[in-house]
Amino acid sequence: MARPRDRSPAALDEASLAIIEQLQQDGRRSYAAIGKVVGLSEAAVRQRVQRLADSGVIQVVAVTDPLQLGFARQAMVGVRVTGRLEPVADALAELDEVDYVVITAGSYDLLAEVVCESDEHLLELISDQIRTIPGVVATETFMYLRLRKQTYSWGVR
């Protein structure tokens, strides 16, 4: 998902919230099926989903298992930064191997999730790309051994 500009909650009506809930349960659910549940026509659901996507509220994607696609190593990289955090976060977000970047409070200024083909690829990414970004002071890598839970259905408010 593109970097959000404004993190304040969007003003969503009950129908839009219901559509989002339906898509969180099954992102492949047809607009006709969603329309039956939320009381709208297929066309109305299609238009609302498009508006929600265009405004950055939702992103409908295929969530893959990196191991099944040949990416043998996933890791979370904690990054300590000197100076402004945003330029370093933006530089990390530009790297193909990085799929998630957050600015944090605590021991690390940034956390970046990375997906690599091998341990050698991970080493190259950390040493040659991440640590060379201006402002990066230190990194710590937490390699994933086994994924126990990953969900995208936290509901709506």
Nearest to 72 by CA among 126, 113, 112, 115: 115
pLDDT tens digits for 2-47?
445 455 666 899 999 999 999 988 889 999 999 999 999 999 999 9
pLDDT digits (tens, 9 = 90+) for 54-74: 998 998 887 777 777 777 899
Q: What is the pLDDT of residues 84-101, one digit of tens each?
A: 999 999 999 999 999 999
Rounded to whole angstroms, the Cα distance separating 157 from 152 reads: 14
- Rg of the chain's alpha carbons, rounded to an integer? 19
Residue 117 · residue 72 · CB < 8 Å: yes
**Coil, helix or strand at residue 78:** strand
